[in-house]
Amino acid sequence: MTETAPAPAPPALTAAHRELLDQVLDKWSLQVLDSLCEQPQRFNELRRSVPAVTQKSLTATLRRLERNGMVERLVVRSRPVAVEYRITALGTTLQDLVDALLRWTADTLPDVEHARSRYDAEVLDDAGPRA
Amino acid sequence: MTETAPAPAPPALTAAHRELLDQVLDKWSLQVLDSLCEQPQRFNELRRSVPAVTQKSLTATLRRLERNGMVERLVVRSRPVAVEYRITALGTTLQDLVDALLRWTADTLPDVEHARSRYDAEVLDDAGPRA
DNA sequence: CAGTATCCCCTACGATACTG
DNA sequence: CAGTATCGTAGGGGATACTG
């Protein structure tokens, strides 16, 4: 499947690559990116867009994404200050990836759930080592 | 960019989707899958293929991948027992995704590193709140 | 060989309180 | 509004020891 692209030699999985994926595909990043993709938002707007996130985690996530060039932080010197976050060009390239990821999960989740049921039924039933 | 694919409506990011991605894109899974993609392997072969992994983590990773239908565990009743792990059809569909991920990191890592340098220089220098 | 079991640490995260 | 600072906890992972 997908013979359309010649697949130009997938590069090796170095520590630097893994680190980047970790920083960018982590628990909250996907949701934040996803939300910022639709429209730029302020800090507290984002908190509401991503319901379960705490201030601390949201701040950490935004800083990490900012550091990696995925989002941009714009301070409007009003009173009180307003801070707007928006996705960068680099961030949108990531969004395409995330969409692919999401489509994959949507496609395979039924199969995965089936596999899980089988596993849970035949493995978790009998205890003890599996050799 | 990439107007080639119509992008058939990326599905929402539910908890189930995130869970699957977490289980499958975690620290060791990528390397294990990658290694198994080239050829089926026994437990200790895998340990050598993925140098930094511990027994415990490798076992946990393999169990998780097996449960999700990504790898298959075959017990050869010899003495001592031999156990072979091989990637499933489902697992190979994931591999395509991982390749895409890796290609993305390879493409964007230079930009990301540049962004990091800028961030570290202009933000980490002056301490204090950023409002 | 292919694990399981135990201990232990460390950091990721949430909760809470405070500030320009 | 948009954070920073501090504390406390849960669990993911390593090191080590043991087993069919």
B129 CB below 7 A from strand C atoms: yes
pTM (predicted TM-score): 0.88
Average pLDDT over chain B, rounded to an integer: 89
Degrees, nearest 5: CA angle B96-B57-A98? 30
DSSP notation for A58-111: HHHHHHHHHHTTSEEEEEE--SS-EEEEEE-HHHHHHHHHHHHHHHHHHHHHHH
Each residue of B46-96: pLDDT tens digit? 999 998 999 999 999 999 999 999 999 999 999 889 999 999 999 999 988
Chain B environment of A18 (Cβ under 8 Å):
27, 30
Chain A: closest CA distance from residue B57 (Å): 16
Chain A environment of B67 (Cβ under 8 Å):
115-116, 119-120, 123
- Put simply, the chain A residues between 76 and 115 with a CB less than 8 A from any chain B CB are 81, 83, 90, 93-94, 96-109, 111-112, 114-115
Q: In 3-state terms, what secondary structure has residue B51? A: coil
CA of B69 to C1' of D10 (A): 28
**Chain A residue with Cα closest to B124:** A67
d(CA A66, CA A61) in angstroms, rounded, equals: 8
Kindly state the percentage of chain A with pLDDT values over 90. 70
Question: A49-57, long-range: CB within 8 Å, 24+ apart, which pairs?
Answer: A53/A28, A57/A27, A57/A28
Each residue of B1-60: pLDDT tens digit? 545 555 566 678 888 999 999 999 988 999 999 999 999 999 999 999 998 999 999 999
Give yes or no for a contact between A96 and A34, defined as CB atoms under 8 angstroms apart. Answer: no
Residue A123's pLDDT is what? Answer: 73
